[in-house]
Amino acid sequence: MRILVTGANGLLGGFLVPELVSGGHEVLATGRGGLRLPVEAGSTFAYADMDITDALRVSDLLREWRPDHVVHAAALTQADPCELDPVACWHVNVTATRFLATAAEAVGARLTYVSTDFVFDGEAGPYREGDPTGPVNVYGCSKLTAERVVLETNRHAGIIRTVLVYGRSGGQSRTNLMTWVRDRLTAGERIRVVDDQVRTPTYAGDLARGIRLLVESGGTGIYHVSGADVLTPWEMARLTARHLDLDASLLERVDASTFTQPARRPLRTGFHIDKARRVLGYAPLTFAEGLRLALDGGGQ
């Protein structure tokens, strides 16, 4: 299968491109600027510079390469910058998604869109695919709107929602709760961590496998793909400290009202992943296993 991937230079892309290549697929990885994706020995894929907000470039590249499937993983994913600049957020997360969905439909390509738990309000998590949505910030609104654009535009679209992605790809890791805790505790600093938010943190390698399984199945509709462990950030921080043998007494347990942030966060999200397990054969690592790979560099 010929598969075009957006956001290939990001954390997920560092897992997803090798995952698809190892599955025997012909992959065109795309991103802004030059290739920053780690390239493993023996890994073969093509790369193209593509700004997803450039409708003409998107249309031209898809017509030229004619993929069978497009996996759209590029997005603005940080809630606070999206809240502070909603126009930029909407341009990247919604308008550009419409460009891709339209271009994919025009060449007969299926589309898989990567979305988020922030489409929910956090009042009743963990959530199933059919639960009512209700985002509480601009980022969540943009992703929910993009989901609707995808499903309305591309007849063969799939949506994969995920939660709090973490991992390590090619020796690189995106800053996340676990790496932040590691760095602060290693420096001997006291840090405050909330214990009234709930998530199901997702190892990036698991998410990449879930996407490959959906792509290969030809499935459509919405799937929740995350870790299975239901944890608060406080619990994640404690487990991180224990794994690295760092001083957990430096962790101060607080609630979300302690912090002032531009974007409101949903309190209780996380996912039930029964559908992905049953239909796709998805089987995530435990948080402890993912943590070991993410922090110790145990590979993909």
Cβ neighbors of 85 (< 8 A, separation 6 or more) are none
The catalytic site residues sit at 139
* Closest of 85, 294, 275, 90 to residue 176, by C-alpha: 294
Cβ neighbors of 197 (< 8 A, separation 6 or more) are 122, 232, 233, 256, 265, 266, 267, 268
Cβ neighbors of 42 (< 8 A, separation 6 or more) are none
- Provide the sign of the torsion angle of the four alpha carbons 158, 47, 23, 169, taken in this order: negative
Stretch (H or E) spanning 49:
strand 46-49
Contact 268, 194 (CB under 8 A): no
